[in-house]
Amino acid sequence: QLQLVESGGGLVQPGGSLRLSCAASGFTLDGYTIGWFRQAPGKEREGVSCIDNSGSTAIYGDSAKGRFTISRDRAKNTVYLQMNSLKPEDTAIYYCARRGFVCSASRDAYAMWGQGTPVTVSN
């Protein structure tokens, strides 16, 4: 079964860190661009970060710049999102998604999605 599986979410205090993982099952991530999105309750799903299929280009949304880092490990067939200096407003369900072309901030540009992993930043 072809799927993306996110993990690594959880409860963390403000200022803390989490590393989210996006693992591919049934296919290789090589050749695919991977985006991370998030959706907070009552809000639209927004783009957080993206890494292109070569791994040479990474982009970040305004909320992630300077705090989050996206990377890919081809040997593990996984893309990571390292999140530091977390804030309560980072609370959301985080999703990874794939597409075959360059990075895009539009969720409609991605054809395959994972089930999401929840992140809660709170005392």
pLDDT per residue over 99-108, tens digit each?
988 999 899 9
Q: CB neighbours of 65 closer than 8 A, spacing ≥ 6?
A: none
Beta bridge partners of 119: 10, 92
| CA distances, 99 to each of 23, 61, 106 (Å) | 15, 18, 11
pLDDT per residue over 17-61, tens digit each?
999 999 999 999 988 999 999 999 999 999 999 999 888 899 999
**Cα separation, 74 vs 62, whole angstroms:** 27
Contact 5, 34 (CB under 8 A): no
The answer on pLDDT for 12 being more than 90 is yes
Among 73, 48, 44, 67, smallest CA distance to 59 is for 48
